[in-house]
Amino acid sequence: MKTVQYREALNEAMSEEMRQDSSVFLLGEEVAEYNGAYKVSQGMLDEFGAKRVIDTPIAELGFTGIAVGASMNGLRPIVEFMTWNFAILAADQIINSAAKMLQMSGGQYNCPIVFRGGNGPAGQLGATHSQSFEAFYAHVPGLKVVVPSTPYDAKGLMKAAIRDNNPIVVLESERLYGVKGEIPEGEYIVPIGVADIKRKGTDVTIVTFGKIIEVAHQTAEILEKEGVSCEIIDLRSVRPIDYGTVVESIKKTNRCVVLEESWPLASISSEIAYHLQRYAFDYLDAPVQRVTQTDTPLAFSPTLIEEALPNIDRLSKAIKATLYRN
């Protein structure tokens, strides 16, 4: 094993796949000369050249359309958005072109393409630069959506995404790029659609994904001292969702709290809560609790940000509610 940063894990994944497959290329704003806005593509221009690591204008709809066309004609593009907030401008190409191409062409055209970049709140960036898009893209048939929370998952899921013949949305966090973690020295893949039990427990299941999982770990450590054993499931993929792993955990703990960084309405946590009441109702000893961002645009003020985002206190109260300890 070796220790790398999250950004380095993504870089390794893309570079390894580009060495193995000449049809893979990277394009986006500042990915080449500047080595990426968050240095994810550091050194890739030097290794692969300007034909495979391509700087684009600030024109998300345009360069995403070029990538979709390239994928229909045998190439495997990786599109980097400086932030997924900017990808709103490219939503037509992602949702109306890439996601629907296989179905609308009667199976004649695959669209093997990876859309990736920074997602979610990342400090004092204001409401229009702090949105979490997991549920937005998971809502769309034809897309697969992954949200890696560790360097290990980031590399393994990225390699799986590049090899997949479907359009894949990879939602990274700007706050995770510098986080370090262990990854294997050799080749490995993390399958899309397979959740991971990050912490074993017996009293309550916390279902989560992305960088907010750190709040789950911190809360679990605190509650362990109070005699509460938390199991933490990292979904890793939010389309498809590994419902089986969640249900099997509920059969053991009989309680569930879903933790997510986005808004509550029509969210991933809503979907998990529905699925559990439909398919695991007889195993639940308490209603499923949800801890999400407040239902407001995220403020610029750090005090208001702290109040809006899920935190240890709110998660602890939700867990204790499932245990009838409040």
What residues act catalytically? 60, 129
Residue whose entry in the numeric block shows the structure tokens 């990876």: 114
230, β-bridge pairs:
204
Radius of gyration, CA atoms only, the chain: 20
Local structure of 96: helix, strand or coil: helix
The dihedral of CA 307, 312, 313, 317: what is its sign? positive
272-310 residues labelled b (16+ CB within 10 A) or e (exposed): bbeebeeebeebbeeebbbbbbeeeebbeeeeebeebbb
Secondary structure (DSSP) of 200-247: --SSEEEEE-GGGHHHHHHHHHHHHTTT--EEEEE--EEES--HHHHH
For 59, residues 6+ apart whose C-beta sits below 8 A from its C-beta are none
Cis peptide before 57 (omega within 30 of 0): no
